[in-house]
Structure 1
Amino acid sequence: MTRYLVVPGRGVPYPEHWSHRWVTDHPDFHWAPEPPGPPYVAAERVAALHAAVTADAEPAILVAHSAGCLTVAVWARHHTGPVEAALLVTPPHLDPGWSPAPGEAVDVVIDHVPRETLPFRSILVASRNDPYSTFEQFEAYARDWGAELFDAGAVGHLDSKTGFGPWPDGERLVRSLAHPGTPPRR
Protein backbone atom coordinates (compact mmCIF):
# COMPACT_ATOMS: atom_id res chain seq x y z
CA MET A 1 0.00 0.00 0.00
CA THR A 2 1.25 3.49 -0.83
CA ARG A 3 1.30 6.33 1.64
CA TYR A 4 1.11 9.98 0.64
CA LEU A 5 3.13 12.67 2.38
CA VAL A 6 1.88 16.20 1.77
CA VAL A 7 4.71 18.74 1.96
CA PRO A 8 3.22 22.21 2.47
CA GLY A 9 4.57 25.56 1.36
CA ARG A 10 5.47 28.40 3.71
CA GLY A 11 2.09 29.01 5.31
CA VAL A 12 -0.77 27.05 6.78
CA PRO A 13 -3.06 25.88 3.97
CA TYR A 14 -6.61 27.17 4.37
CA PRO A 15 -9.25 24.49 5.00
CA GLU A 16 -10.52 24.91 1.43
CA HIS A 17 -7.02 24.44 -0.11
CA TRP A 18 -6.74 21.23 -2.14
CA SER A 19 -3.85 19.90 0.01
CA HIS A 20 -5.79 20.46 3.24
CA ARG A 21 -8.83 18.74 1.72
CA TRP A 22 -6.75 15.76 0.63
CA VAL A 23 -5.26 15.28 4.11
CA THR A 24 -8.70 15.71 5.70
CA ASP A 25 -10.60 13.50 3.25
CA HIS A 26 -8.12 10.64 2.70
CA PRO A 27 -6.71 8.63 5.63
CA ASP A 28 -3.59 7.65 3.64
CA PHE A 29 -2.55 11.34 3.17
CA HIS A 30 -0.47 12.88 5.98
CA TRP A 31 1.30 16.19 6.52
CA ALA A 32 5.10 16.24 6.52
CA PRO A 33 5.69 18.16 8.77
CA GLU A 34 2.74 17.70 11.09
CA PRO A 35 1.26 20.23 11.66
CA PRO A 36 2.22 22.52 8.78
CA GLY A 37 2.75 26.20 9.30
CA PRO A 38 5.10 29.13 9.53
CA PRO A 39 7.77 30.02 9.85
CA TYR A 40 9.38 28.24 6.93
CA VAL A 41 12.78 27.08 8.16
CA ALA A 42 14.33 24.89 5.48
CA ALA A 43 16.46 22.74 7.78
CA GLU A 44 13.47 21.99 10.02
CA ARG A 45 11.21 21.19 7.07
CA VAL A 46 13.80 18.88 5.49
CA ALA A 47 14.33 17.11 8.83
CA ALA A 48 10.56 16.70 9.29
CA LEU A 49 10.22 15.30 5.77
CA HIS A 50 13.09 12.88 6.37
CA ALA A 51 11.50 11.70 9.63
CA ALA A 52 8.17 11.15 7.86
CA VAL A 53 9.74 9.33 4.90
CA THR A 54 11.86 7.03 7.05
CA ALA A 55 9.18 6.34 9.69
CA ASP A 56 7.94 3.46 7.58
CA ALA A 57 9.43 1.16 4.94
CA GLU A 58 6.22 1.45 2.93
CA PRO A 59 6.76 3.44 -0.29
CA ALA A 60 5.70 7.09 -0.20
CA ILE A 61 4.48 9.50 -2.82
CA LEU A 62 5.33 13.08 -1.98
CA VAL A 63 2.79 15.79 -2.80
CA ALA A 64 4.44 19.20 -2.49
CA HIS A 65 3.12 22.70 -3.06
CA SER A 66 5.12 25.90 -3.51
CA ALA A 67 8.08 26.05 -1.08
CA GLY A 68 7.34 22.41 -0.24
CA CYS A 69 8.80 21.57 -3.67
CA LEU A 70 12.06 23.20 -2.60
CA THR A 71 11.96 21.13 0.60
CA VAL A 72 11.68 17.99 -1.54
CA ALA A 73 14.61 19.04 -3.77
CA VAL A 74 16.83 19.75 -0.76
CA TRP A 75 15.76 16.51 0.94
CA ALA A 76 16.53 14.47 -2.21
CA ARG A 77 19.97 16.03 -2.46
CA HIS A 78 20.96 14.95 1.06
CA HIS A 79 18.83 11.92 1.94
CA THR A 80 17.36 8.70 0.64
CA GLY A 81 14.30 6.78 1.66
CA PRO A 82 11.38 4.80 0.30
CA VAL A 83 10.05 7.52 -2.03
CA GLU A 84 8.33 6.22 -5.13
CA ALA A 85 7.39 9.52 -6.79
CA ALA A 86 6.55 13.19 -6.25
CA LEU A 87 3.95 15.66 -7.45
CA LEU A 88 5.61 19.09 -7.40
CA VAL A 89 3.03 21.86 -7.65
CA THR A 90 4.10 25.40 -8.65
CA PRO A 91 7.56 25.64 -7.06
CA PRO A 92 8.62 29.27 -6.60
CA HIS A 93 11.66 30.44 -8.50
CA LEU A 94 14.59 31.64 -6.40
CA ASP A 95 17.19 33.67 -8.24
CA PRO A 96 20.80 32.70 -7.41
CA GLY A 97 21.29 36.05 -5.63
CA TRP A 98 18.02 35.78 -3.66
CA SER A 99 17.88 36.70 -0.01
CA PRO A 100 14.85 37.11 2.25
CA ALA A 101 13.22 40.51 2.71
CA PRO A 102 13.91 42.25 6.04
CA GLY A 103 11.86 40.57 8.75
CA GLU A 104 10.91 37.63 6.53
CA ALA A 105 11.04 34.38 8.52
CA VAL A 106 12.79 32.21 5.95
CA ASP A 107 15.93 30.19 6.59
CA VAL A 108 18.58 31.17 4.05
CA VAL A 109 19.78 27.54 3.92
CA ILE A 110 17.99 27.46 0.56
CA ASP A 111 20.27 30.11 -0.89
CA HIS A 112 20.00 28.17 -4.12
CA VAL A 113 17.67 25.43 -5.23
CA PRO A 114 19.28 22.04 -5.94
CA ARG A 115 19.01 21.36 -9.65
CA GLU A 116 20.08 17.70 -9.77
CA THR A 117 17.82 15.03 -11.25
CA LEU A 118 15.52 13.66 -8.58
CA PRO A 119 16.03 9.95 -7.83
CA PHE A 120 12.34 9.15 -8.30
CA ARG A 121 9.63 9.80 -10.87
CA SER A 122 8.13 13.26 -10.61
CA ILE A 123 5.56 15.49 -12.25
CA LEU A 124 5.94 19.25 -12.02
CA VAL A 125 2.72 21.24 -12.31
CA ALA A 126 3.28 24.61 -14.00
CA SER A 127 1.03 27.65 -14.22
CA ARG A 128 1.01 30.15 -17.05
CA ASN A 129 0.46 33.10 -14.68
CA ASP A 130 2.04 32.20 -11.35
CA PRO A 131 3.22 35.30 -9.44
CA TYR A 132 6.27 33.43 -8.07
CA SER A 133 7.63 31.84 -11.24
CA THR A 134 7.44 32.14 -15.00
CA PHE A 135 6.48 29.23 -17.21
CA GLU A 136 10.06 29.15 -18.53
CA GLN A 137 11.37 28.84 -14.96
CA PHE A 138 8.98 25.94 -14.37
CA GLU A 139 10.29 24.32 -17.55
CA ALA A 140 13.87 24.71 -16.30
CA TYR A 141 13.02 23.10 -12.94
CA ALA A 142 11.29 20.22 -14.73
CA ARG A 143 14.25 19.69 -17.06
CA ASP A 144 16.82 19.86 -14.24
CA TRP A 145 14.85 17.64 -11.87
CA GLY A 146 13.98 15.13 -14.60
CA ALA A 147 10.28 15.76 -14.00
CA GLU A 148 7.41 15.44 -16.45
CA LEU A 149 5.92 18.89 -17.03
CA PHE A 150 2.17 19.31 -16.66
CA ASP A 151 0.86 22.60 -18.08
CA ALA A 152 -2.09 23.46 -15.84
CA GLY A 153 -2.86 26.64 -17.79
CA ALA A 154 -3.49 30.05 -16.21
CA VAL A 155 -4.12 28.91 -12.62
CA GLY A 156 -2.13 31.44 -10.59
CA HIS A 157 -0.25 29.77 -7.74
CA LEU A 158 -2.78 26.91 -7.69
CA ASP A 159 -3.98 27.76 -4.20
CA SER A 160 -7.24 28.61 -2.50
CA LYS A 161 -6.79 32.31 -3.38
CA THR A 162 -7.01 31.34 -7.05
CA GLY A 163 -10.00 29.08 -6.55
CA PHE A 164 -8.39 25.71 -5.96
CA GLY A 165 -10.20 23.91 -3.23
CA PRO A 166 -11.20 20.87 -5.23
CA TRP A 167 -8.56 20.05 -7.82
CA PRO A 168 -9.59 17.06 -9.97
CA ASP A 169 -6.53 17.37 -12.25
CA GLY A 170 -4.30 17.04 -9.20
CA GLU A 171 -6.13 13.92 -8.07
CA ARG A 172 -5.61 12.40 -11.53
CA LEU A 173 -1.91 13.30 -11.42
CA VAL A 174 -1.46 11.64 -8.03
CA ARG A 175 -3.21 8.52 -9.34
CA SER A 176 -0.87 8.50 -12.35
CA LEU A 177 2.10 8.49 -9.95
CA ALA A 178 0.60 5.71 -7.85
CA HIS A 179 -0.16 3.70 -10.99
CA PRO A 180 2.73 4.36 -13.41
CA GLY A 181 0.85 3.10 -16.48
CA THR A 182 -1.69 5.91 -16.10
CA PRO A 183 -0.76 8.94 -18.23
CA PRO A 184 -1.04 12.40 -16.59
CA ARG A 185 -3.80 13.89 -18.77
CA ARG A 186 -5.50 17.23 -18.54
Structure 2
Amino acid sequence: MNSTRVLLLPGWQNSGPGHWQSRWETLYGDLRVQQHDWDWPRRGDWMARLDEVLLQDDAPAVLVAHSLGCQLVASWAAHSQHTGRVKGALLVAPPDTEREDMPPQLHNWRPIRRQRLPFASVAVISSDDPFGALERSTQMAADWGASVVIAGPRGHLNADSGLGDWPEGRALLDDLAGR
Protein backbone atom coordinates (compact mmCIF):
# COMPACT_ATOMS: atom_id res chain seq x y z
CA MET A 1 0.00 0.00 0.00
CA ASN A 2 1.23 3.50 -0.83
CA SER A 3 2.21 5.66 2.11
CA THR A 4 0.59 9.01 2.65
CA ARG A 5 2.43 12.01 1.21
CA VAL A 6 2.57 15.24 3.17
CA LEU A 7 2.29 18.20 0.81
CA LEU A 8 3.30 21.57 2.22
CA LEU A 9 1.36 24.54 0.86
CA PRO A 10 3.07 27.78 1.90
CA GLY A 11 1.35 31.11 1.66
CA TRP A 12 2.17 34.36 -0.06
CA GLN A 13 5.95 34.85 -0.47
CA ASN A 14 6.68 31.22 0.51
CA SER A 15 7.92 29.99 3.91
CA GLY A 16 11.43 31.01 4.94
CA PRO A 17 14.07 28.77 6.57
CA GLY A 18 12.86 29.40 10.15
CA HIS A 19 9.21 28.64 9.34
CA TRP A 20 7.81 25.39 10.75
CA GLN A 21 6.89 24.27 7.20
CA SER A 22 10.53 24.55 6.11
CA ARG A 23 11.64 22.77 9.25
CA TRP A 24 9.18 19.95 8.59
CA GLU A 25 10.48 19.66 5.04
CA THR A 26 13.97 19.10 6.45
CA LEU A 27 13.00 16.96 9.46
CA TYR A 28 10.39 14.71 7.88
CA GLY A 29 10.98 14.92 4.14
CA ASP A 30 7.59 16.54 3.46
CA LEU A 31 7.15 17.86 -0.08
CA ARG A 32 6.75 21.60 -0.63
CA VAL A 33 4.47 22.42 -3.54
CA GLN A 34 6.56 24.96 -5.41
CA GLN A 35 4.61 27.74 -7.07
CA HIS A 36 5.79 29.64 -10.14
CA ASP A 37 5.21 33.06 -8.58
CA TRP A 38 5.32 33.51 -4.80
CA ASP A 39 5.06 37.31 -4.94
CA TRP A 40 2.08 37.78 -7.26
CA PRO A 41 0.05 34.61 -6.59
CA ARG A 42 -2.66 33.86 -9.11
CA ARG A 43 -5.34 31.61 -7.69
CA GLY A 44 -5.89 29.60 -10.88
CA ASP A 45 -2.16 29.01 -11.36
CA TRP A 46 -1.74 27.82 -7.77
CA MET A 47 -4.75 25.50 -8.10
CA ALA A 48 -3.38 24.00 -11.34
CA ARG A 49 0.01 23.45 -9.70
CA LEU A 50 -1.58 21.58 -6.77
CA ASP A 51 -3.43 19.31 -9.21
CA GLU A 52 -0.18 18.73 -11.10
CA VAL A 53 1.70 17.67 -7.96
CA LEU A 54 -1.14 15.43 -6.74
CA LEU A 55 -1.20 13.62 -10.07
CA GLN A 56 2.55 12.87 -10.00
CA ASP A 57 2.04 10.00 -7.54
CA ASP A 58 -0.78 7.57 -6.76
CA ALA A 59 -0.19 7.78 -3.01
CA PRO A 60 -2.86 9.61 -1.00
CA ALA A 61 -1.89 13.00 0.37
CA VAL A 62 -2.43 15.17 3.41
CA LEU A 63 -2.27 18.89 2.72
CA VAL A 64 -0.49 21.14 5.21
CA ALA A 65 -1.40 24.72 4.41
CA HIS A 66 -0.24 27.96 5.95
CA SER A 67 -1.88 31.34 5.40
CA LEU A 68 -2.76 31.80 1.70
CA GLY A 69 -2.19 28.05 1.33
CA CYS A 70 -5.46 27.62 3.29
CA GLN A 71 -7.29 29.69 0.68
CA LEU A 72 -5.61 27.55 -1.97
CA VAL A 73 -7.04 24.38 -0.38
CA ALA A 74 -10.56 25.83 -0.24
CA SER A 75 -10.44 27.15 -3.82
CA TRP A 76 -8.85 24.00 -5.21
CA ALA A 77 -11.32 21.69 -3.43
CA ALA A 78 -14.27 23.68 -4.84
CA HIS A 79 -13.10 23.04 -8.43
CA SER A 80 -10.78 20.04 -8.69
CA GLN A 81 -11.81 16.58 -9.84
CA HIS A 82 -8.96 15.08 -7.83
CA THR A 83 -10.09 15.74 -4.25
CA GLY A 84 -10.37 11.99 -3.70
CA ARG A 85 -6.56 11.82 -3.59
CA VAL A 86 -6.55 13.87 -0.37
CA LYS A 87 -7.06 12.27 3.04
CA GLY A 88 -7.18 15.51 4.96
CA ALA A 89 -5.89 19.04 5.42
CA LEU A 90 -4.21 20.92 8.24
CA LEU A 91 -5.15 24.58 7.71
CA VAL A 92 -2.95 26.95 9.70
CA ALA A 93 -3.66 30.68 10.06
CA PRO A 94 -6.24 31.16 7.29
CA PRO A 95 -6.09 34.82 6.21
CA ASP A 96 -9.06 37.01 5.45
CA THR A 97 -8.35 37.96 1.84
CA GLU A 98 -11.55 40.01 1.73
CA ARG A 99 -10.21 42.61 4.17
CA GLU A 100 -9.87 46.12 2.80
CA ASP A 101 -6.21 46.36 3.85
CA MET A 102 -5.04 43.28 1.93
CA PRO A 103 -2.18 44.01 -0.49
CA PRO A 104 -3.16 44.28 -4.17
CA GLN A 105 -1.20 41.09 -4.92
CA LEU A 106 -3.93 39.14 -3.09
CA HIS A 107 -7.05 40.76 -4.56
CA ASN A 108 -7.57 37.90 -7.02
CA TRP A 109 -8.12 35.60 -4.00
CA ARG A 110 -11.56 37.20 -3.53
CA PRO A 111 -14.17 36.03 -2.91
CA ILE A 112 -13.14 33.45 -0.34
CA ARG A 113 -14.39 30.00 -1.32
CA ARG A 114 -16.52 28.69 1.54
CA GLN A 115 -17.76 25.31 0.31
CA ARG A 116 -17.45 22.41 2.73
CA LEU A 117 -14.22 20.50 2.10
CA PRO A 118 -14.73 16.91 0.89
CA PHE A 119 -12.09 15.56 3.31
CA ALA A 120 -11.29 15.83 7.01
CA SER A 121 -9.70 19.08 8.07
CA VAL A 122 -8.39 20.87 11.14
CA ALA A 123 -7.92 24.65 11.27
CA VAL A 124 -5.38 26.10 13.70
CA ILE A 125 -6.17 29.73 14.44
CA SER A 126 -4.33 32.33 16.50
CA SER A 127 -6.43 34.68 18.60
CA ASP A 128 -4.34 37.68 17.47
CA ASP A 129 -3.50 36.89 13.84
CA PRO A 130 -2.84 40.20 12.08
CA PHE A 131 -4.20 38.79 8.79
CA GLY A 132 -7.49 37.41 10.04
CA ALA A 133 -9.77 38.30 12.94
CA LEU A 134 -10.61 35.35 15.18
CA GLU A 135 -14.32 35.54 14.35
CA ARG A 136 -13.75 35.61 10.58
CA SER A 137 -11.20 32.78 10.71
CA THR A 138 -13.39 30.53 12.84
CA GLN A 139 -16.35 31.19 10.52
CA MET A 140 -14.24 30.20 7.49
CA ALA A 141 -13.23 27.01 9.27
CA ALA A 142 -16.87 26.26 10.12
CA ASP A 143 -17.89 26.82 6.50
CA TRP A 144 -15.14 24.44 5.38
CA GLY A 145 -16.30 21.81 7.91
CA ALA A 146 -12.96 21.97 9.73
CA SER A 147 -12.56 21.33 13.41
CA VAL A 148 -10.92 24.30 15.11
CA VAL A 149 -7.93 24.53 17.43
CA ILE A 150 -7.38 27.97 18.96
CA ALA A 151 -3.63 28.39 19.46
CA GLY A 152 -3.94 31.44 21.71
CA PRO A 153 -2.16 34.73 20.99
CA ARG A 154 0.55 33.47 18.60
CA GLY A 155 0.45 35.98 15.76
CA HIS A 156 0.37 34.54 12.24
CA LEU A 157 1.66 31.11 13.36
CA ASN A 158 4.84 31.56 11.35
CA ALA A 159 8.56 31.87 12.12
CA ASP A 160 7.93 35.11 14.04
CA SER A 161 5.60 33.18 16.37
CA GLY A 162 8.53 31.21 17.83
CA LEU A 163 7.00 27.81 17.02
CA GLY A 164 10.32 26.17 16.09
CA ASP A 165 9.67 22.61 14.88
CA TRP A 166 6.09 23.01 16.18
CA PRO A 167 5.55 19.52 17.65
CA GLU A 168 1.94 20.39 18.58
CA GLY A 169 1.17 20.99 14.91
CA ARG A 170 2.88 17.76 13.91
CA ALA A 171 0.75 15.87 16.45
CA LEU A 172 -2.38 17.38 14.85
CA LEU A 173 -1.11 16.30 11.43
CA ASP A 174 -0.38 12.78 12.64
CA ASP A 175 -3.89 12.49 14.10
CA LEU A 176 -5.38 13.78 10.85
CA ALA A 177 -3.32 11.36 8.73
CA GLY A 178 -4.33 8.46 10.98
CA ARG A 179 -0.80 7.60 12.03
What TM-score do the two structures reach when normalised by structure 2? 0.90
Task: Report matched runs for 1:35-184 at 5 Å.
Answer: 37-81=38-82, 82-95=85-98, 98=100, 101=103, 104-106=104-106, 108=108, 110-179=109-178
Gaps of at least 5 residues in structure 2 are: none
TM-aligned CA deviation for residue 165 of structure 1 = 2.4
Q: What is the aligned residue count? A: 175
Gaps of at least 5 residues in structure 1 are: 181-186
Task: Identify if the C-alpha distance between structure 1 residues 52 and 98 changes in structure 2 by more than 3 Å, giving closer, same or farther.
Answer: farther
Give the whole-Å Cα distance in 1 for the aligned partners of 2:107 and 2:168.
Answer: 32
What TM-score do the two structures reach when normalised by structure 1? 0.87
Give the whole-Å Cα distance in 2 for the aligned partners of 1:118 and 1:80.
Answer: 13
Task: Identify if the C-alpha distance between structure 1 residues 10 and 115 changes in structure 2 by more than 3 Å, giving closer, same or farther.
Answer: same
Contact 2:67–2:94 (CA<8 Å) still a contact in 1?
A: yes
Contact 2:96–2:136 (CA<8 Å) still a contact in 1?
A: yes
Task: Identify if the C-alpha distance between structure 1 residues 138 and 155 changes in structure 2 by more than 3 Å, giving closer, same or farther.
Answer: same
Q: What is the RMSD of the two structures over their aligned residues, measured on CA atoms?
A: 1.9
Higher helix share: 2
Give the whole-Å Cα distance in 2 for the aligned partners of 1:134 and 1:98.
Answer: 13
The C-alpha deviation readout for 1:38-96, integer Å capped at 9, x for no partner, is 2322222111111111222211000000000001111001003200000000110133x
Give the whole-Å Cα distance in 1 for the aligned partners of 2:100 and 2:49.
Answer: 24
Q: Does the residue aligned with 1:141 lie in a helix, a strand or coil?
A: helix
Give the whole-Å Cα distance in 2 for the aligned partners of 1:158 and 1:67.
Answer: 12
Give the whole-Å Cα distance in 2 for the aligned partners of 1:17 and 1:99.
Answer: 24
Q: Which residue of 2 aligns with 1:4?
A: 6
Percent of residue pairs bearing the same amino acid type: 36
